[in-house]
């Protein structure tokens, strides 16, 4: 086998491996980033502590597509979904003490949670006791209105019947 044939075969194998990885990755469903009440908690399968007051979930080539509001105390309450794909936004807790915002990277967008005092926890679960999440405020900073039906401002109030919501950020 000539050198050029070896290079061609090697490149073909590498291309096939990349294609297989891409197909497998596309077929898997990543867990959502969860922000919820009980003070305010932040959970995902990959959470980094950037500082005592900031935690972040980030994966290459991922971004938040949808925020789904679920009732933490009433499983029968219908969820409400807010499409956020391609939008810039941030979330604040009930009294605006805790903020969850997009954190851009070169190869994807992370989601950072900021706690005024200190996040408690490690691994996949962190909690900030400074405030309650619900009702939270979702503010779009891209000049467009909130996509919830009937909204005429860039601000959405995210709430649920029991007052103890769980926000699932679809992160793909």
Condensed to tens digits (0 to 9), the pLDDT of residues 1-22 reads 776 655 454 555 545 454 444 4
pLDDT band at 74 (very low <50, low <70, confident <90, very high): confident
Q: CA-CA-CA-CA torsion for 71, 152, 146, 83, nearest 10 degrees?
A: 90
Together in a domain, 60 and 123: yes
Mean pLDDT over all residues of the chain? 85
How many domains, in total, are found in the chain? Answer: 2
For residues 43 and 34, the answer to whether their CB atoms sit within 8 Å is yes
Round to whole Å and give the CA distance between 114 and 99: 5
Q: Is there a single domain that holds both residue 11 and residue 61?
A: no
Does residue 19 sit in the same domain as residue 79?
A: no
Q: Which helix (H) or strand (E) holds 4?
A: helix 3-27
Residues 25 and 35 in one domain: no
Kindly state whether residues 100 and 18 are assigned to the same domain: no
**C-alpha R_g of the chain:** 20
Structural domain that includes position 111: 31-171
Same-domain status, 84 and 8: no
- Given this model, what pLDDT does residue 32 score? 86
pTM of the model: 0.80
pLDDT at 6: 54
Residues 47 and 13 in one domain: no
Q: Which residues, at least 6 apart from 160, have a Cβ–Cβ distance to it below 8 Å?
A: 69, 70, 71, 72, 74, 77, 80, 134
Residues 137 and 85 in one domain: yes
Same domain, 20 and 35: no
Does 48 share its domain with 126?
A: yes
The first and second tokens of residue 63, run together, are: 């971004």
Let me know whether 14 and 87 are in one domain.
no
């Amino acid at each position: 086998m000539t050198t050029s044939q070896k290079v061609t075969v090697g490149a073909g194998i590498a291309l096939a491996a990349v294609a297989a990885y891409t197909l497998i990755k596309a077929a898997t469903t990543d867990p959502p980033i969860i922000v919820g009440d009980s003070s305010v908690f932040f959970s995902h399968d990959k959470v980094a502590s950037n500082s005592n007051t900031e935690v972040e979930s980030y994966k290459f080539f991922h971004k938040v597509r949808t925020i789904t509001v679920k009732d933490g105390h009433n499983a029968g309450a219908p969820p409400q979904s807010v499409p956020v794909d391609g939008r810039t936004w941030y979330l604040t807790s009930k009294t605006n003490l805790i903020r969850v915002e997009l954190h851009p990277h070169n190869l994807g967008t992370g989601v950072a949670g900021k706690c005024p005092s200190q996040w408690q926890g490690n691994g996949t679960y962190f909690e900030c006791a400074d405030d309650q999440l619900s009702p939270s405020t979702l503010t779009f900073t891209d000049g467009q209105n909130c996509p919830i039906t009937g909204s005429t401002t860039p601000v959405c109030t995210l709430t649920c019947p029991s007052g103890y919501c769980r926000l699932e950020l679809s992160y793909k």
